[in-house]
Amino acid sequence: MASSAVAASSKRVLIVDDNADSALGLAEGVRLLGHQVEGAFDGPRALLLAARFKPTIALVDIGLPVMDGYEVARRLRARSGSDPLRLVAVTGYGEDANRAMSLEAGFDLHTVKPVELEGLRSLLSLKIARGWAITPGMLLRRLLHNLLGLLSILVLGAVIWAPSLAALTGISLGEFGGLAQFRMMGAGAFVALLVLRYVIRPPRQPSRQSIAWGEFAGAIGGTVAEEPPSFDSIGWAGGTTVRWNSGGIPVTLSASRDTDRNEFTHVVADARLAKSFQFHVTPETMIAKVLLSNQLWSIALKAVKEGERRSGSPGAGVAERLAFLGDKEVLLGDPMLDKALLVKTDTPSLAREFLLDSGVSYCLQELYKSWKGWQLSLMARGTTGEYRLTLMMPGTMLDPQGLDAGRKLIEASTRCFADRGFLASSNPKAA
């Protein structure tokens, strides 16, 4: 019984990599996990092999000879038709531009070498869900939908240009009761066609975001919903939203778009804290140093204070709460984190205690290795004791590994809040 279950869950994995050591290492890991595996060292051989092997998952390097990994992915996707195929870019290229090119070429995931056994297990255990299979019934509905659209356009044209149509075809409009009656009949037929077209419209295929986030919600036991669009301080928010609880603290995964149409993914946890502190953490880059420089933030905070003064509501205290961003960066005392991260805080002792927690620091290092441009912040929300922990990542995160990395960091943070006595007594975990 157990062997039949394993066989049923076994996948056919195609590995395409010109580096023999890398390909053999991946193949050994795939076999250890109980899956079938075949390998090729270049694109043309991979395409020939795929026609016979019919892989359900392909792990493809980008820097291949003869034909690069992007072209291999395009051709594998085109040839797979409605057969389920998950394409994973396994490469040394980890920049955001490379990830975007992978998605554009048809890859479902983009992961950076080396891939450890647990990471490989995660990649191979993910469900294949790029959409749904195209059934004959769906094809018929699409055909009728398009045909009715064409007919409605022809009827509308006949209504508008009725005199010209009558002259060209020799049809007498008197047979229809005159021009006005003809146009009324045509308008009725046009409306009927539009209604019928709406009724038989094919179901809308879910977006890649709703599929990826739905899978993520199912894996963590969360709920997924489509929120109406709204506009707030971070820009346009709404759409697919995932919610779950971490130690009694509500956590939300959502996406937003700013006024310049830049997209971001947010993982947010709201909690009441007994210990008051704020921080902002981001990978240390030249751009981050400029954007968080003392000089730039001093100017920005002066503008915020002036705006509060003019609005007559200085009690809002936004400038006061954000003042620490104009201070110098803080060193944590961990050489690896101090080299990798830029940290600003209003209470260095508590920020160090939190960020140097073993679970939090491990997740920060893992996030730093694999993803660029993220920011982690803990900010007061204006109400005494109310804080918002936010992980913001650029783009709409579709990679399950990226989503899981964000979840792990937020959940490690909420555990740290509870274990170190940061939570106020009103939080479920602290009660």
Q: Using one digit for the tens of pLDDT, what is the confidence trace for 300-319?
A: 667 766 666 666 654 456 66
pLDDT value of position 233: 63
Q: Are 242 and 217 in contact (CB under 8 A)?
A: yes
Q: Are 87 and 107 in contact (CB under 8 A)?
A: yes
Q: Quick one: average pLDDT of 94-119?
A: 79
Give residue-wise pLDDT tens across range 152-208.
999 998 889 988 888 888 888 888 888 888 889 989 999 999 999 888 887 666 677
Query: What's the pLDDT band for 287 if we cut at 50, 70, 90?
Result: confident
Q: Quick one: average pLDDT of 273-280?
A: 92
Q: Are 147 and 405 in contact (CB under 8 A)?
A: no
pLDDT value of position 324: 83
User: How is residue 273 annotated by DSSP?
Assistant: B
Kindly give the residue spans of alpha helices, DSSP state H, lying in 244-394. 286-291, 294-311, 318-321, 335-340, 348-355, 358-370
Q: Quick one: average pLDDT of 274-285?
A: 91
Rg, C-alpha atoms of the chain: 28
pLDDT value of position 176: 82
Evaluate if residue 6 carries a pLDDT over 60.
no
**Residue 384 or residue 40, greater confidence:** 40
Distance (Å, whole) CA 55 – CA 221: 29
Q: What does the H/E/C string look like for 102-125? A: HHHHCCCEEEECCCCHHHHHHHHH
Distance (Å, whole) CA 226 – CA 347: 38
Cβ neighbours around 220 below 10 Å, total: 16
Evaluate if residue 59 carries a pLDDT over 90.
yes
**Residue 6 or residue 67, greater confidence:** 67
pLDDT value of position 131: 47
User: How is residue 274 annotated by DSSP?
Assistant: S
Distance (Å, whole) CA 251 – CA 121: 26
pLDDT value of position 369: 84
Cβ neighbours around 72 below 10 Å, total: 29
**Which of 54-58, 95-99, 133-137 shows the lowest mean pLDDT across its residues?**
133-137
Evaluate if residue 391 carries a pLDDT over 90.
yes
Give residue-wise pLDDT tens across range 325-341.
878 889 999 999 999 99
Q: Quick one: average pLDDT of 67-93?
A: 84
**Which of 7-21, 352-366, 402-416 shows the lowest mean pLDDT across its residues?**
7-21
Pair of tokens at residue 165: 């149509």
Q: Quick one: average pLDDT of 222-230?
A: 84
pLDDT value of position 63: 86
Domains of the chain, first to last: 2-125 (3.40.50.2300), 136-199 (no CATH), 208-292+329-419 (3.30.1460)
Kindly give the residue spans of alpha helices, DSSP state H, lying in 43-178. 43-53, 69-80, 96-105, 117-125, 136-160, 162-169
Pairing of the two strands 386-394 and 375-380: antiparallel
Residue given tokens 């590995």 in the structure block? 15
Distances from the Cα of 69 to the Cα of 44, 48, 52, 108, 210, angstroms: 11, 15, 20, 13, 26
